[in-house]
Structure 1
Amino acid sequence: MLKAVSLSVTHDGDPLVEGLDLLLGRGDRIGLVGPNGAGKTSLLRVLAGLAAPAAGHVARGPGTRVGYVAQQVPDPSSTVGAFLAGGLGEVGVVTARMRQLERELADGGGAGVLADYGRVQDRWAQLEGWTAQARLDEVRDRLDVAHLDPAAPLHRVSGGEQARLMLARVLLDRPDVLLLDEPTNHLDADGAAWLGRWLAGFGGAVLTVSHDRAFLDAAVTRVVELDGIVPRVHDYPGGGWTHYRAEKARRTQRLLLDYEAQQKALARWRSDIERTKGQALHVETTVRSGVEAPHLRRIAKKVAKKAKVRERRLERQIRSLRWIAEPRSRPALTLAFPADAAAAEGTLLAGDGLTVRRGGRVLLDGADVRVEAGDRILVTGRNGAGKSTLLHVLAGRLAPDAGVLRVGAPVELLPQTSDGLRTGVPVLEFFRSRVAVFAEDAERLLDAHLFGPEFWGAPVRTLSAGELRRLLLAVLVNLPASVLLLDEPTNHLDTDALDVVEEALRAFPGTLVTVTHDAYFAAAVGHTRRWRVENGVVREAAGAVK
């Protein structure tokens, strides 16, 4: 259905992928993993036909339709209705034009308008336009976005609802191949589980970029990796995330053992040569000392010749053998919260009767919440239930329409989306605008978070979604907060970064309130309380989360 032949992808001249051969057939389920910045999104865009490869080509089977779901909506100012209608392709454009001409005719349009209407109506009939609304209604219902107001701007709906809308738009085109870039970002646990089940029944091919470990275990049967070290794909057939991690560990261990054995053999050969050279030098020294012994001179020449022969033999072996390169790894991310984060005591956040209304909807309806020092609270609920709204209210970034919030300690929020952050401000300036430090200290801190000198002058809008997420984390850990409000903290982070974040949060001595759909993350960090946001109310769920 889709084939990549000798494909190479670059970014600003740097090779990301070289010589990739990939075949996607009906029923294939492939997960593409790797660190942020390795080139996964760039590769997906080339496969989707949205960007040109540096070399090689992509071929599609006859009649194959490819659907591409990006990480974020392209235009947050667009309306829900207009965004979905764009997924209908030509029939959507023709339908919109026909409705416009109908209004003009109702206003007394002349013969020219009537002629245009006839031509547009003929095209609409050829495209079976009467099925468009039925398809639209079906997809809206299936993806649980039918309740959204078509006139609502995309930036007004939740991140999870945006994710569902992007998938709905692609499904309207009835694709045979799905290319998904972090499809579970912003989805709630129910939504991620639903997507895994839906993909299992999808008849076409799926290639998905994801760092959602539970989703990869449930949805894919083969993993390919871009490790960000060498520009080639590593293939791990036969399973999902758990299989890939175990097999990668085995491969790495075998490679390391083979490399160590090779280096030991090489050291032995070179030691043997040096020993032979030493023997020759010793005999030559003895001869030069004045000892008249022609046979010693002959022995010295033979020993020296033997050393040269052995040295040339080793050089030929080095040239002829495929030597194993030393295993490399990417620089490790560091993340450590300040030790004074636990200084606060007692009730740190208290909300009484919190009410928020947006676009005719009541997101919070008289909610009462208490956050005590040392709490680790997991917040759950369906997409659009008001989880992000609750966190923004607790962080003081959104004033409630009614109710009172009392704050007893410094609070910081890691937002779910990057709306409003993609500006032309340089990375170093952005960091210093949030963290009050001298320039040299900011450079040192950024470097520890894998933002070297090449990033400091780059505009924030040029960062990938994962890099922007790491930048926000770098800001967060350098602020003296006693309470951290984390809204889907795993979104856009690669698995290596997730390991570091999980370890840092386990050691965080302060208070956590976390919204996450990632069951692996929730279990790794640990929580002592659970809130369920539903119908505008925040309820304490029974049972602690370990």
Structure 2
Amino acid sequence: MISITNLSYYLGDRALYENASLHIKPKDKIGLIGLNGTGKSTLLHLIVGNYQPDAGHISKSGGCTIGFLNQDLLSYQSDDSILSVAMQAFERANELQRQMDAVIHEMEVNYQDKLVDRLARIQEEFEALDGYSIQSKAEEILEGLGFSTADLQKPLRLFSGGWRMRVMLAKLLLQKPSLLMLDEPTNHLDLPSIQWVEKYVQSYENAVIVVSHDREFLDNVCDTMVEVSNQKLNYYGGNYSFYIEEKALRNEIQKGAYENQQAKIRQTERFIERFKAKATKAKQAQSRAKMLDRMDRVEAVVDENAKVHFRFQFTTQPGRHVLQLENVSKAYGDKEILKNTSISMERGDKIALIGANGKGKSTLLRVIAGTEPIEGERRLGHNVLFTFYAQHQLESLNIEHTILEELKYANPTKSETECRTILGCFLFTGEDVFKKIKVLSGGEKSRVALAKVLVSEANFLLLDEPTNHLDMQSVNILIQALRQYEGSFVVVSHDRFFVEAIASKIWYIDNREVKEYPGTYQEYEWWQEERGEEETAKGKEAVMTSLASMNAVKTAPAATAAPSKNGSSNGQALKQLQNKVNQLEKEIDELEKRKTEIEEKLADESVYSNPTKLAELNRQYADIKQKINKSTENWEQAVLEVDALG
């Protein structure tokens, strides 16, 4: 479908690509990976034709269409509704709709057979394009990406850059190009939206190229990985997990070949040095020197898995209790974010705060930091020293400082050697540390800001989307740093691999309350799936019970229904049934309260770390759920009987 042959592309005197080749087939799902600055986004621009190669060529098959989602689209604005912008994907159908409207309007004042014929032809093509369902398709995709039904008629200009990017993604998905190119699509998506896009891309019938640093996303949607390395496009026939294993194997082979070649080069160079001046051996020495010049050199293996070789320390140890929120409420005007919620954390807690955008995750971090006015009480524990990393903090970096000066400013007690060691772990080596902040890319600024946070000697960290703009190597460094960090932290992130790697507890906001799951992200996902299956089963059971009850009422014999002809008997029975309904409603409310109390106890460390208590509470929990189900069935039956008598 698309063939890249002997591609070369230069930025000044630096080669991004040198004789690189790749063939993209229909239905390929390609993950394009590599370190920041290696040219991944540049390759997408070359494919779409925004840039021209310096050598080689890129050929496309006839009829090949390309859709490109890139970060430049963040700046796109329009007064049209987001539904209208997304529906711009259907150019021909929209044009036919305008033609139909014009013909119908003309027929209202000048009815002619030729207009009827023209309308029929337009409608036939419109139906062939499935024109009557394009709005529902656009609505489905926009809502899948996190927009509410009410949002669909709002102008695009009212939304932030991240939400505008979602609209442009929806438009591309609706166009269904032969090749869909997505540059960091997960950067501006929350977890439910990422999972929705995953399912969509998995079932997408055409080819896809994704540039992403989200390992889980790449694993779930890609069947091929292409790594940009050493100015080449290196092909791996599997997902990201396969790539990791295969690359390790290739590196081992390359390392052996490199070492063997280096040994041969050293031996040859010794021979040349020893015999070049000896008349009887000079010719052989010259021959071997020419052989060395012609030799295809094997590249040394570069270890891209940087390790953190220092420990993050703090001098002030906090007390056992780090944070306590009690009956906290927070609202912006009429919009309630938190309502009477209480939560606590203790020393050493490693917490990931997850959930959909708009639930209040960043607001909660600001509440914890004390920068948001609230109703209720926020208490930090004894000797708790916190620092807060948020995306806007990149703007607080002093652009006139060098990287080294900025780190020393964050912690003056660190020596230059210590600072350079820390910066080396964040991929700033050699002369890099003397670069001014103002010349750094967004990803580089993120690394500097994170390094500042981790050397601040705070014993409590608040991190809001710390992996945004970081490549996989930088994310790996951050994971290592947080794993060895001995303090406590709360991290907001939509990167599932990152969350699974660093968090021992999960916080989520449900119905304006902060709730805790005492386990890893993977365990939390399993628990949520089980809850979903239980709710589905309960719903099906309720429906079946209602249907059975309705059938029983309909097929009841006449003799049973006879008392209803007597007004007095009918009124008495109705009154008794209504009392029964009211009593059952109170019973269900009490059971639900008891169920909530047990759930709170199950989240208590003193309970789930005690097998005896845990087993007893699990038994009580199962018993209470069974009672709720039974009482709900009785309530539904009583309501149906009231309806039948009424």
TM-score (norm 2): 0.65
Q: Deviations over 1:301-321 (max 9, x none)?
A: xxx333323312321321343
Give the Cα separation in 2 of the matches to 1:44 and 1:455: 31
Q: Are 2:34 and 1:34 aligned? A: yes
Unpaired stretches in structure 2, ≥5 consecutive residues: 99-121, 524-646
Contact 2:81 2:155 in 1 (8 A): no
Contact 1:182 1:208 in 2 (8 A): yes
Q: Deviations over 1:472-493 (max 9, x none)?
A: 2122122222111223333332
1:402 corresponds to which of 375, 381, 387: 375
Q: Are 2:449 and 1:472 aligned? A: yes
Give the Cα separation in 2 of the matches to 1:153 and 1:141: 15
Contact 2:7 2:53 in 1 (8 A): yes
Q: Deviations over 1:408-437 (max 9, x none)?
A: 42222333x459839993463894797265
Give the Cα separation in 2 of the matches to 1:422 and 1:14: 32
2:511 corresponds to which of 521, 535, 540: 535
> Size of the alignment, in residue pairs?
488
2:389 corresponds to which of 414, 417, 421: 414
Contact 1:470 1:493 in 2 (8 A): yes
Contact 2:339 2:513 in 1 (8 A): yes
Give the Cα separation in 1 of the matches to 2:472 and 2:252: 19
2:482 corresponds to which of 502, 505, 508: 505
Q: How far is the alpha carbon of 1:329 from its aligned partner?
A: 4.9
Give the Cα separation in 2 of the matches to 1:274 and 1:46: 47
Q: How far is the alpha carbon of 1:377 from its aligned partner?
A: 1.4
Give the Cα separation in 2 of the matches to 1:154 and 1:443: 44
Give the Cα separation in 2 of the matches to 1:326 and 1:543: 42
Residue in 2 that maps onto 1:141: 143
5 Å-filtered alignment, 1:17-96, equals 17-71=17-71, 74-75=74-75, 78=77, 85-89=84-88
Residue in 2 that maps onto 1:102: none
Give the Cα separation in 2 of the matches to 1:197 and 1:331: 30
- AA of the residue aligned to 1:394: I
Contact 1:36 1:467 in 2 (8 A): no
Per the alignment, in what secondary structure is the counterpart of residue 298 of structure 2?
A: coil
Residue in 2 that maps onto 1:240: 239
Q: How far is the alpha carbon of 1:71 from its aligned partner?
A: 4.8
Aligned in 2, Cα 1:407/1:32: closer, same or farther, shift over 3 Å? same
Aligned in 2, Cα 1:180/1:241: closer, same or farther, shift over 3 Å? same
Give the Cα separation in 1 of the matches to 2:336 and 2:408: 34
Residue in 2 that maps onto 1:435: 410
2:285 corresponds to which of 306, 311, 315: 311
Instruction: Pick 1 or 2: higher relative contact order, CA cutoff 8 A, min separation 6.
Output: 1
Unpaired stretches in structure 1, ≥5 consecutive residues: 100-123, 281-303
Query: Alignment identity in percent?
Result: 29
Q: How far is the alpha carbon of 1:223 from its aligned partner?
A: 0.8
TM-score (norm 1): 0.75
1:200 corresponds to which of 199, 202, 205: 202
Per the alignment, in what secondary structure is the counterpart of residue 138 of structure 1?
A: helix
Residue in 2 that maps onto 1:374: 348
Per the alignment, in what secondary structure is the counterpart of residue 468 of structure 2?
A: coil
Residue in 2 that maps onto 1:487: 464
Residue in 1 that maps onto 2:586: none
Contact 1:333 1:450 in 2 (8 A): no
Q: Deviations over 1:48-96 (max 9, x none)?
A: 34444444554444443322223586239x589656644444879x99x
Q: Are 2:492 and 1:515 aligned? A: yes
Q: How far is the alpha carbon of 1:352 from its aligned partner?
A: 2.6
Q: How far is the alpha carbon of 1:406 from its aligned partner?
A: 2.5
Per the alignment, in what secondary structure is the counterpart of residue 339 of structure 1?
A: coil
- CA RMSD, Structure 1 to Structure 2 (Å): 4.2
Per the alignment, in what secondary structure is the counterpart of residue 368 of structure 1?
A: strand
Aligned in 2, Cα 1:374/1:454: closer, same or farther, shift over 3 Å? closer
Flag the structure with higher helix content: 2
Give the Cα separation in 1 of the matches to 2:460 and 2:155: 33
Contact 1:333 1:497 in 2 (8 A): no
Per the alignment, in what secondary structure is the counterpart of residue 267 of structure 1?
A: helix
Contact 1:357 1:363 in 2 (8 A): yes
Contact 2:325 2:341 in 1 (8 A): yes
Give the Cα separation in 2 of the matches to 1:147 and 1:346: 46
Q: Which has the larger radius of gyration?
A: 2
Aligned in 2, Cα 1:60/1:513: closer, same or farther, shift over 3 Å? same
- AA of the residue aligned to 2:199: R
Residue in 1 that maps onto 2:313: 339
